[in-house]
Structure 1
Amino acid sequence: MWNLSAPWWEFVLRGLIVYAALLFLMRVSGKRQIGQLSPLDLVLLLIISNAVQNAMNGGDNSVTAGLILAATLFGADVLVGYGTWRSHRLETLVEGRPEILIHQGEIFRDVMRRERITPRELQKALRRNGCERVADVHFAILETDGTVSVIQKEKSEEGQAKPTIDPMWQDPARPDADMSL
């Protein structure tokens, strides 16, 4: 129950290798896969967890091996989180960059194709954000967590759509300057 079949450092090394490999595979699979967990994705996640279990524990089912692996995985997650907080370069490497899907009502189909987002999924994201038409969108951005943020155009007095500028992105030296992108 408590006896290890291999040295403790081997479990740490196995856990770190599997953690890094899965992090890489999740990153390569795209933002959509991370942000929108479908039933197929859930099944895949469960199968992957079972598939990598033996790679981490090497057939050792002792409590000690399990605790070492759990501590290793939590520790790796904390270190990666701290590293991405400290380094913008590492954050971009691990989490990716937001992608613009729509700008001024124009859909960027090449980005949608690269991120494997269907037109129906984009429409659903727009409806979820209270937007009925693509023409009403100033920006639609696929965030690094897989969600879609939508910034709508606001209506002017003449009924024309004009972009909404968040004061956070406004340059204090130039109140008329749009610093959004």
Structure 2
Amino acid sequence: MNPYLDIIIRSTAVYLFMVIALRVFGKKELSQLNTADVILILLISNSVQNAMVGSNTTLWGGLAAATVLFIINFILKKVLFKYKKLNDFMFQKPQILIHNGNLDFNILSELSITSDELKEAMREHGVEHFSDVKLAMLEVDGNISIISGEKNLRQTHYKRKRAHKNLNRIN
């Protein structure tokens, strides 16, 4: 087999695996990387390098693998734009956390968002009480968007921190 065709097939397989793995394990958690996340990314990249290029450690082999990754990423974005059902599967929808001061406890529990985390997002944007929030949403990129109930509605964003094992319960 042609060594560059081998790199193309291997790189494609690794790319598709990583896209599926991020979908399964939740890319929302990657919106704000902590030390453990950075280490995980570095270890994953190191572990899949040989799977992509095999024994070919030449400059051309590395460039071929990188080119394939860029091309696949470009094609995937075009396909996701064209096919809504596939896009909906790959990317989660924004979730409403608070609407007109009413918390959606089911969604908060499902997303493992603690009351402390939600209160921190509100304080970050000068909102003191849940009743002052017209709309709070967890965006697809992991941000919590808050629109206050003030007359001069302003939208602000809070970068969600990674959830911890010992979660506080929503009050």
Would you call these one fold, judging by a TM-score over 0.5?
yes
Aligned to 1:139: 135
Identical counterparts, % of pairs: 34
Q: Residue 31 and residue 150 in structure 1: after superposition, are their counterparts in 2 closer, same or farther (change >3 A)?
A: farther
Aligned to 2:10: 14
User: Is 1:89–2:89 an aligned residue pair?
Assistant: no
Distance in 2 (CA, whole Å) between partners of 1:13 and 1:152 is 50
| SS state at 2:11 partner | helix
| Paired residues of 1:33 and 1:41 also in contact (CA < 8 A) | no
Q: Indicate whether 1:101 and 2:92 are aligned.
A: no
Kept after mapping to 2: 8 A contact 1:32/1:117: no
Shift, 1:142, TM fit: 0.9
RMSD of Structure 2 on Structure 1 (CA): 2.5
Consecutive unaligned residues of structure 2, counting only runs of 5 or more, are: 156-171
Change (3 A) 1:60 1:92: same
Higher relative contact order (CA 8 A, sep 6+): 2
Cα shift at 1:153: 1.3
Q: What displacement does 1:6 show?
A: 5.4
| AA matched with 1:54 | N
State whether residues 30 and 115 of structure 1, in contact with CA within 8 Å, keep that contact through their aligned partners in structure 2. Answer: no
**Are the counterparts in 1 of residues 30 and 37 from structure 2 also a CA contact under 8 Å?**
no
CA distance in 2, matches of 1:31, 1:115: 12
Per the normalisation by structure 2, the TM-score is: 0.78
The aligned residue for residue 54 of structure 2 is 58
Q: Given the alignment of the two structures, is residue 126 of structure 1 paired with residue 151 of structure 2, yes or no?
A: no
2:67 pairs, out of 28, 53, 71, with 71
Task: Return structure 1 stretches of 4+ with deviation > 6 angstroms.
Answer: none
CA distance 1:120–1:51, shift in 2 (3 Å): farther
Deviation track 1:101-127 (CA, whole Å, cap 9, x = no partner) reads 122222223323332333332223223
The unaligned stretches of length 5 or more in structure 1 are 157-163, 167-181
* Structure 1 residue identity aligned to 2:17: A
Which structure has the larger Rg over C-alpha atoms? 1
- Measured against aligned partners, the alpha-carbon deviations of 1:112-150 in whole angstroms (never above 9, x if no partner) come to 333233333222322333322222112111111111111
Normalising by structure 1, we get a TM-score of 0.74
User: Which amino acid is 2:117 matched to?
Assistant: E
Closer/same/farther in 2, CA of residues 116 and 59 from structure 1, 3 Å limit: farther
Q: CA deviation at 1:30?
A: 2.1
Pair 42,29 (structure 1): closer, same or farther in 2 beyond 3 Å: same
**How many equivalent pairs are there?**
155
Encode CA deviations 1:41-96: one digit per residue, 9 max, x unaligned: 11111111111112111232111211111001111111122223333323222222
SS, match of residue 154 in structure 1: coil
